[in-house]
Chains A and B, each alone.
Chain A
Amino acid sequence: MADKPRRLNLNQKYQLMTRGLDWETTYQSMDDVFPYDKYEGIKIKDWDKWQDPFRLTMDAYWKYQAEKERKLYAILDSFAQNNSQLNISDARYMNAVKIWMQGVTPLEYAAFRGYAMLGRGFRGAGARVACQFQSIDEMRHYQTQMHAFSHYNKFFNGFRQYSRIRDRAWYLSIPKSYFEDAVTAGPFELITAISFSFEYVLTNLLFMPFVSGAAYNGDMATTTFGFSAQSDESRHMTLGLEVIKFMLEQHEDNLPIVQRWLDKWFWRGYRLLGLVGTMMDYMLPKKVMSWRQAWEIYWEESGMALFNDLSRYGLRPPKYHEVATKEKYRITHEFWSTIYQFSHATALYTWIPTNEELDWFSAEYGELFDTVYRPRYEYWAELHKNGERFFQKRLPVVCNVCQIPIFHTMPDDPLMNCCLVTEYKGTKHQMCSQGCKDIFDHEPEKYCQAYIPPQQIYQGNCGGATLEAYKEWLHIKEEETGEYYGSEDHRMWEEWKAQAAGTAVASA
């Protein structure tokens, strides 16, 4: 032993604190202790080559995170005490927050569990510890989001029945099936899907618009948890890149497997983000940037630059990314048109954009918007004015993979609907795109299990075979759905504004 204390640098200290804690088991075989990390075919020769992306010890983690939590909850308390929901731009904005609570917060919870599985499941200690940190971070995110939204729930509709509709509502199968697809895959695919494809490649398209949108629209609660989560997210992104490099450096046989996952999860993530793009374009009364512009910055520039860097590992950009780019002029309009027609079967409100907003769309999306979508909105606005607000009478056919209603159009023809069919074991399965069809065809046994809400509803498995029975099963009341103008949220908002104006007059 040394006589005087040696100097250890931070990296050495970290290594000693984490590595070497694990051991090669001998009373039970390693394959029995870690039964899940080989069956996907990923070959790992040396887990010690894993580079820890966080280099965090528990004491440092507790310290940093506690500081963040103290600040966050101080702001949430003051937000509630001061009725700061009055400061949002417009009550239409709340629908963006509702989508988050209904569709995204449950995924944060599922990510907590999924990363706990990885934090238990990988046989390499470094990878395990990294996943454990991400797991507890994800737990943080679902909890801080619920605590932030709790105040909104007291005043606005669309939050109260989240735990029921999260699983049962047809449109929430989009985010739910996405995540369940990842968690039911093996550990390497899960971490590739979420840490790399989602957190590293696509997260800027989710997080930036949502949190910036919240800030633009006076939503301090969301802005605060968003900023507070940002340093967690940057850790998660680092993990995503490390995972890809690690798998590719370990064995050349891993390349085709990883490439296929990147193809699949790019497309799956892109389809999911259509919902976010729609929220960003249509539900933010004060616009941050259009989906088209976000796609150009975060995918066409940053995403492609990333894949250029990764080409040295033999990776190419994901399949069908050029289709996604072609769709940038239409996807959010096609999506909004669909939700508009079906919102009486959701816990959301929809509306036709104002004239100023339609002009903004014209400027952002150009000719296609003016020739295809604007006339449609003007037609529906006219119907609504005449007391015939347009709703579809039936539920939509949804894609067997991404679970989005089949409204997407052909890559080169925005006027031609795209619906592809695969027959498997005597049943026809509809898909919205070649991207989704490839995914189905590669693992038909998995995707033929998918719970397809409209089919289940019409079979009478969801409280009854009518829309009314279905809505009752979801605990969604009539006044919580459909058209925004004239809704409970809208009326309440108008009263608040009138009250605030009255107060201002009285005190003046």
Chain B
Amino acid sequence: MSIDIKTTKIEPRRVTFDNVAEKLGEGKIPSRYQEVMIGVQQEEVFHYRPTWDPEHEIFDADRTAINMQDFDDLVDPRQYYYGTYVIQRSKQQEALEKNFSVVEKRGLLTALDAGLTERITKIIVPFRHAEWGANTNNLFIAAYGFGTPMPIAADFQGMDRLGNAQYITRIGLILSNNDPEILDQAKAEWLDEPMWQPLRKMLEDSFVLKDWFELHLLQNFLLDGILHPLLFQHLEGEVVNNGGAAFAMVTEFFVDWYGEATRWTDHTLKTAAGESAENKALLTEWRDKWLPEVKNAAAPLAEYIFADRSAEVMKQIADKLDTRSGKIGLE
């Protein structure tokens, strides 16, 4: 038996806002993502020039050398708007929290072999500063980028990196039984240990870049593309193979996160490269300019972790990045 619920029948006058309909085609029902990602950033009629940058408008397409017919084409394939973003992260956070509490309760990380603990302490804990650097760079894109979707996804990426830095801090505190000295020690190494200096210099150089799309390529494609696989796939694999499975429990999030963030990075680079031969040439040029420096910055870390296998590991990582470059459409 079917039951009809009586409701008032009301015909809508339209399905969405004009700017969304113009982009998607009249009558098309937009997703919630699309409805808040098209045409929201103002592009005309600015009242005053920024006192901090009188050469540009508040939002200005000229803050990158990349040209797009419509910067709103740089969409996020994950379709994250605020609601879907925080809900997804809260699910991951809940799962990770369980792992952390098992590891803490059972003392699983403190029970690791001293050599492994040493390597994690030396490599992972100072890396919280590099994650903070990635936060800084993505906030730059959120602040000065152009179009609606890019600054938003960059803001999520920036907040993710703050989260990453905080999870690393927790790993450090577990290793030291909550002795904050481990963080001070790691920071001292970040600042002075020769092994970290090429990376720190690389990041500081990135902090003064003014082209936000170049910065996107440098931080989210090149730096992440080398460093995250090195630390959270190769180092992690090494630790796990040597009896440190507990380490994987607290770093699993980084692996998942990286895989997910890569979809956004690659998609936006591919869209920009596909827009014009000029964009493609520029992205290729930037990649060629920065990649050797990024590799150079990662090399001492790889040597510390993998000693004589380091060249081989670095090659595997670089090959993967090359494959991604090819798929994106860079020369």
Hey, which bits of chain A sit against chain B, CB under 8 A? 1-8, 12, 16-18, 20-23, 25-28, 32-33, 35-36, 39, 57-59, 61-63, 65-67, 69-70, 72-73, 82-83, 86, 106, 109-110, 112-113, 116-117, 119-121, 125, 128-129, 132, 135-136, 139-140, 142-144, 146-147, 150, 153-155, 157, 159-164, 166-168, 173, 176-177, 180-181, 183-187, 446-447, 449-451, 475, 496, 499-500, 503, 507
Q: Are A65 and B17 in contact (CB under 8 A)?
A: no
5 contacts between A and B (CB under 8 A): A5-B178, A12-B180, A59-B97, A73-B83, A83-B10
Instruction: List the A side residues contacting B308 at CB < 8 Å.
Output: none
The B255-276 residues at the A interface (CB cut-off 8 A) are none
Q: Are B163 and A58 in contact (CB under 8 A)?
A: yes
Measured CB to CB, the closest approach of chain B to A169, in angstroms, equals 10
Query: Closest 5 interchain pairs by CB?
Result: A66-B90, A58-B163, A154-B12, A116-B142, A120-B139
A65 to B87, CA, bound (A): 8
Give the contacting residue for A116; candidates B143, B166, B170; CB below 8 A.
B143
Q: Are B205 and A121 in contact (CB under 8 A)?
A: no
The B200-254 residues at the A interface (CB cut-off 8 A) are 200-201, 204-205, 207-208
Whether A155 contacts B12 in the complex (CB less than 8 A), given A33-B207, A83-B7, A163-B18, comes out as yes
> Which residue of chain A is the closest to B107 with respect to CB atoms?
A5
Instruction: List the B side residues contacting A166 at CB < 8 Å.
Output: 42
Sample of 5 more A-B contacts, CB < 8 Å, known A32-B208, A113-B58: A23-B200, A28-B205, A163-B17, A164-B19, A449-B49
Instruction: List the B side residues contacting A62 at CB < 8 Å.
Output: 86, 89-90, 93, 163
Q: Are B151 and A116 in contact (CB under 8 A)?
A: yes
A68 to B2, CA, bound (A): 36
A23 to B184, CA, bound (A): 12
A486 to B35, CA, bound (A): 31
A289 to B7, CA, bound (A): 35
Whether A28 contacts B204 in the complex (CB less than 8 A), given A57-B166, A150-B35, comes out as yes
Instruction: List the A side residues contacting B15 at CB < 8 Å.
Output: 154
B42-66 to A contact mask, C-beta < 8 Å, 1/0:
1111111111100000110000000
Instruction: List the B side residues contacting A21 at CB < 8 Å.
Output: 128-129, 132, 165, 169
Is B173's beta carbon under 8 Å from chain A?
Answer: yes
Q: Are B51 and A185 in contact (CB under 8 A)?
A: yes
> Which residue of chain A is the closest to B94 with respect to CB atoms?
A63
Q: Are B14 and A4 in contact (CB under 8 A)?
A: no
A499 to B139, CA, bound (A): 52
Q: Are A66 and B86 in contact (CB under 8 A)?
A: yes
Hey, which bits of chain B sit against chain A, CB under 8 A? 6-8, 10, 12-19, 32, 35-36, 39-52, 58-59, 81-83, 86-87, 89-91, 93-94, 96-97, 104, 128-129, 132, 135-136, 139-140, 142-144, 151-152, 155-156, 158-160, 162-163, 165-167, 169-170, 173, 175-184, 187, 190-191, 200-201, 204-205, 207-208
A157 to B41, CA, bound (A): 22
A168 to B44, CA, bound (A): 8
Whether A143 contacts B143 in the complex (CB less than 8 A), given A16-B169, A25-B207, A183-B50, comes out as no
Instruction: List the A side residues contacting B139 at CB < 8 Å.
Output: 116, 119-120, 128, 132, 135
A167 to B47, CA, bound (A): 10
A185 to B104, CA, bound (A): 48
Give the contacting residue for B52; candidates A39, A65, A72; CB below 8 A.
A39
Instruction: List the B side residues contacting A1 at CB < 8 Å.
Output: 175-177, 179, 181-182
Q: Are A28 and B208 in contact (CB under 8 A)?
A: yes
A1 to B178, CA, bound (A): 9
Q: Are B143 and A450 in contact (CB under 8 A)?
A: no
Give the contacting residue for A70; candidates B52, B87, B140, B167; CB below 8 A.
B87
A499 to B14, CA, bound (A): 20
Q: Are A135 and B155 in contact (CB under 8 A)?
A: yes
Q: Are A4 and B177 in contact (CB under 8 A)?
A: yes
A28 to B204, CA, bound (A): 6
Instruction: List the A side residues contacting B44 at CB < 8 Å.
Output: 167-168
Q: Which of B90, B96, B104 has the most CB of A within 10 A?
A: B90
Instruction: List the B side residues contacting A67 at CB < 8 Å.
Output: 90
